[in-house]
Amino acid sequence: MNFENILTASEAGIFTITINRPDKLNALNHKTIQEIGLAIRLANDDASVRGIIITGSGEKAFAAGADISEFADFNRHEAEKLSRDGNDVFTSIEHSPKPVIAAVNGFALGGGCELAMACHMRIASENARFGQPEVNLGVTPGYAGTQRLVQLIGKGKALEFLMTADMIPSAEALHLGLVNHVVPQAELMNKSREILAKIATKGPLAIAAVIRCVNSYFAYDQDGFETEISEFSECFESEDFKEGTRAFLEKRKAEFTGK
Ligand code: COA
């Protein structure tokens, strides 16, 4: 599939999506977000894919926010559509049954920070900078930044960054729990691949179930404890569970098939 604003590549079970507007610091216009959503669907439909990486092209930016030039003249109805459409894509990333890592290679501001937060994990290069600078423009975040930042770093710190628009350097992001690891830029993709390769040795049905269980913690209409009981028991019906337990007892490596 040919995309205009992203590059995609699939290798060794890992599907990589690269936001490719480096001259605009990979700013996320509507089309780019829709292309990311479509690429995520393609990756999820491809049985050979076991994990997904989202990154930005160049060494300066993951994504420096929503494309300000696109929405500067929007009215409230156009703004609502932009926000809803973006939220739909970011939620689809959060609910992807395959692990999604944001390999944050530079600025992750506004929509870029929101995109990274919708991923299951964030690996940052040392030069990465996070932040929600929307109040500088007289607007709130629109792709769930006010929600996921609270989930990841807690209410007090989230309110501080949402109201001051301060940028969060990678070392502080690590301290706050906003990112999982910080590595030199040259090691960013390898570190991300290494984590996905490790996850790929586990049962894919169990991985998808873990994602559903954890998301259930944050779903207001679900009881996460009940979700876990249900997902746990469901696993007992799978071939993977039989293989995993048998392999342990036979002191060999499990060969999971995702069935
Ligand atoms: N939307 C649209 N264009 C953007 C953009 C965005 N969010 N962020 C950067 N760009 C564009 C700039 O307009 C510039 O384009 P130009 O060369 O055609 O003038 C290009 O990307 C390079 O950005 P520039 O500002 O010159 O780089 P810098 O190194 O001086 O500053 C930032 C980097 C990230 C600090 C600065 O670009 C910035 O503050 N961006 C906006 C961040 C933001 O508010 N995001 C939230 C949006 S809701």
In what order do the strands lie in the sheet containing 100-104?
A: 6-11, 14-19, 51-56, 100-104, 121-125, 181-183
Q: Is residue 1 scored above 90 in pLDDT?
A: no
Residue with structure tokens 């669907």? 41
Whether residue 239 lies inside any domain: the answer is no
Whether residue 52 lies inside any domain: the answer is yes
Please state the domain count of the chain.
1
- The verdict on the CB of residue 14 being under 6 Å from ligand 1 is no
Instruction: Specify the residue with its C-alpha closest to ligand 1, atom 6.
Output: 67
Instruction: Specify the residue with its C-alpha closest to ligand 1, atom 10.
Output: 24
How many angstroms does the Cα of residue 1 sit away from the middle of ligand 1? 29
Residue-wise pLDDT tens digits, 12-60:
999 999 999 999 999 999 999 999 999 999 999 999 999 999 999 999 9
How many angstroms does the Cα of residue 88 sit away from the middle of ligand 1? 25
Whether residue 196 lies inside any domain: the answer is no
pLDDT confidence of residue 48: 96
How many angstroms does the Cα of residue 68 sit away from the middle of ligand 1? 8
Question: For residues 65 and 56, is the Cβ–Cβ distance under 8 A?
Answer: no
Nearby residues of 113 by Cβ (< 8 Å), 6 or more positions away: 130, 131, 132, 145, 149
In degrees, to the nearest 5, what angle opens at C-alpha 70 toward C-alphas 68 and 76?
Answer: 90
Q: Is residue 2 scored above 90 in pLDDT?
A: no
Ligand 1 atom nearest to CA at 60: 29
CATH number at residue 45: 3.90.226.10
Residue-wise pLDDT tens digits, 68-89:
999 999 999 999 999 999 999 9
Instruction: Specify the residue with its C-alpha closest to ligand 1, atom 47.
Output: 65
Question: For residues 244 and 254, is the Cβ–Cβ distance under 8 A?
Answer: yes
Residue-wise pLDDT tens digits, 188-203:
999 999 999 999 999 9
Count other Cβ atoms within 10 Å, centred on residue 220. 4
Whether residue 236 lies inside any domain: the answer is no
Nearby residues of 4 by Cβ (< 8 Å), 6 or more positions away: 31, 35
Whether residue 171 lies inside any domain: the answer is yes
How many angstroms does the Cα of residue 100 sit away from the middle of ligand 1? 26
What is the chain's length? 259
Whether residue 138 lies inside any domain: the answer is yes
Question: For residues 203 and 240, is the Cβ–Cβ distance under 8 A?
Answer: yes
Whether residue 152 lies inside any domain: the answer is yes
Catalytic residue annotation: 114, 134
Report the C-alpha gap between 155 and 150 in whole angstroms: 5
Whether residue 40 lies inside any domain: the answer is yes
Residue-wise pLDDT tens digits, 122-157:
999 999 999 999 999 999 999 999 999 999 999 999
SS (H, E, C) the chain: CCCCCEEEEEECCEEEEEECCHHHCCCECHHHHHHHHHHHHHHHHCCCCCEEEEEECCCCEEECCECHHHHCCCCHHHHHHHHHHHHHHHHHHHCCCCCEEEEECCEEECHHHHHHHHCCEEEEECCCEEECHHHHHCCCCCCCHHHHHHHHHCHHHHHHHHHHCCCEEHHHHHHHCCCCEEECHHHHHHHHHHHHHHHCCCCHHHHHHHHHHHHHHCCCCCCHHHHHHHHHHHHCCCHHHHHHHHHHHCCCCCCCCCC
Instruction: Tell me the one-letter amino acid at 72.
Output: A
The parent domain of residue 101 ranges over 6-186
